[in-house]
């Protein structure tokens, strides 16, 4: 199950911008893999810290590229992806880590099944490495698009996909998305292909106070709506076939708007957003009622697992 040194079996995309704090742990988790036929495509989005020197301290299996200019995340991911030569593509952000058997298990899974993409469970950790929670996928392997509309559960670090799917379909990350280029791409893949699901956790996902999601949450619903609109404009039959799931996906945009307002401590506007969907799901009703109680923003975000 090996390829030549010029064309590794797995290309691991690492997009970096000022990520020195946990970078060595992340890269070391790749070098600790039981499966060793891989390359790292390290895309430095003009970091000004020690990220470059840390990355360059490794051997030639880590291929370092410096961007000509700083770009949004979607474009940076595409720049890195264009350098990948592997049969399969995996991803690792610079503050997260792989389990030692992550690549071995997923490559075997893809080699023996007809899946375009495989994802797994995740262990969420604090900045100090302490475990916060374990999340296992609810879906089973197969055509999971409708389920993902209702409950999107793909953690990017857990993903490995066939590069041929991207090459044949022309699918790439959206250059203009800052928050969820991964959601945009993976939902387009899930709409067309079967997806593999491994229930056990294969990655550590670090919940950081400096994570991009904390600073861009006000654009979540906007960018997710762009993805949904694109999907159902290009494939209107999907909207008709999965009407209830589509309605649930669009309803959830109000929930994301409400969470953005909670981050800003604007509970009044958060309740207004939730009122539109309050009877769609019991979780929306519960949150709507909680926002009338004398509870701090911090506690509410903890209840939502968004601390």
Q: How far apart are the first and last CA of the chain?
A: 41
Mean per-residue pLDDT, 152-171 = 96
| Closest to 155 (Cα-Cα) out of 201, 188, 122, 184 | 122
* pLDDT, mean of residues 237-263: 96
- What pLDDT band is residue 5 in, cutting at 50, 70 and 90? very low
Write down the pLDDT at residue 274: 97
Burial track 160-196 (b if 16+ CB lie within 10 A, e otherwise): bbbbebbeeeebbbbeebbbbbbbbbbbbbbbebbbb
Question: Would you place residue 109 in the very low, low, confident or very high pLDDT band (cuts 50, 70, 90)?
Answer: very high
pLDDT tens per residue, range 77-104 = 999 999 999 999 999 999 999 999 999 9
Phi and psi, residue 103, nearest 5°: -70, -40
State the average pLDDT over residues 178-207.
Answer: 96
Per-residue pLDDT reduced to its tens digit, 25-40: 999 999 999 999 999 9
CA distances from 79 to 6, 234, 251 (A): 19, 25, 33
> By C-alpha distance, which of 90, 53, 89, 47 is closest to 66?
47
Give the model's pLDDT for residue 6.
56
> Is the pLDDT confidence value at 2 over 90?
no
Would the pLDDT of 7 be above 90?
no
DSSP 28-67: HHHHT-S---EEEEEEE-S--SSHHHHHHTS-TTEEEEE-
Q: Where are the domains of the chain?
A: 10-209, 217-303
Alpha helices in 151-242 (DSSP H): 163-169, 181-192, 212-215, 220-234, 236-241
> Could you tell me which of 118, 90, 70 has the C-alpha nearest to residue 14?
90
Q: How far apart are the C-alpha atoms of 237 and 221, rounded to whole Å?
A: 23
Tokens 């595409």, located at residue: 78
pLDDT bucket at 215, cuts 50 / 70 / 90? low
DSSP character at residue 72: -
110-150 pLDDT per residue, tens: 999 999 999 999 999 999 999 999 999 999 999 999 999 99
Question: In whole angstroms, how far apart are CA 13 and each of 39, 114, 115?
Answer: 9, 23, 20
Give the CATH fold of the 10-209 domain.
Answer: Spore Coat Polysaccharide Biosynthesis Protein SpsA; Chain A (3.90.550)
Share the mean pLDDT of the chain.
94
* pLDDT beyond 90 at 295: yes
Query: With contact defined as beta carbons under 8 Å apart, do 105 and 160 qualify?
Result: no
Structure-token pair, residue 146: 């409708």
- pTM of the complete model: 0.93
């Amino acid at each position: 199950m090996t390829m030549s040194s010029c064309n590794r079996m797995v290309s691991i995309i690492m997009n970096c911008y000022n990520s020195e704090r946990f970078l060595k742990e992340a890269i070391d988790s790749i070098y600790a893999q039981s499966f060793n036929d891989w390359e790292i495509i390290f895309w430095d989005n003009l970091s000004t810290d020690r990220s470059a020197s840390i990355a360059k301290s490794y051997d030639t299996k880590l291929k370092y590229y410096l961007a000509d200019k700083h770009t949004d995340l979607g474009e940076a991911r595409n720049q890195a992806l264009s350098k990948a030569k592997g049969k399969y593509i995996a991803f690792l952000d610079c503050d997260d880590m792989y389990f030692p058997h992550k690549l071995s298990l997923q490559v075997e899974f893809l080699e023996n099944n007809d899946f375009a993409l495989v994802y797994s469970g995740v262990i969420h950790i604090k900045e100090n490495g302490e475990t916060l929670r374990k999340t296992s996928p609810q879906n089973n392997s197969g055509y999971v698009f409708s389920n993902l509309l209702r409950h999107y559960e793909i953690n990017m670090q857990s993903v490995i996909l066939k590069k041929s799917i991207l090459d044949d379909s022309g699918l790439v990350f959206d250059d203009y998305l800052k928050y969820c280029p991964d959601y945009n791409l993976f939902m387009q893949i899930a709409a067309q292909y079967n997806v593999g699901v491994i229930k056990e956790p294969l990655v550590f996902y670090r919940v950081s106070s400096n994570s991009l999601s904390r600073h861009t949450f006000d654009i979540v619903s906007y960018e997710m709506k762009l993805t949904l609109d694109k999907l159902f404009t290009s494939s209107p039959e999907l909207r008709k076939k999965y009407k209830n799931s589509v309605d649930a996906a669009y309803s959830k945009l109000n929930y994301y708007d409400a969470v953005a307002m909670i981050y800003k401590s604007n509970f009044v506007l958060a309740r207004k957003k939730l009122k539109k969907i309050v009877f769609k799901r019991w979780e929306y009703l519960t949150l709507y009622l909680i926002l009338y109680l004398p509870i701090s923003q911090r506690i509410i975000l903890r209840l939502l697992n968004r601390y």
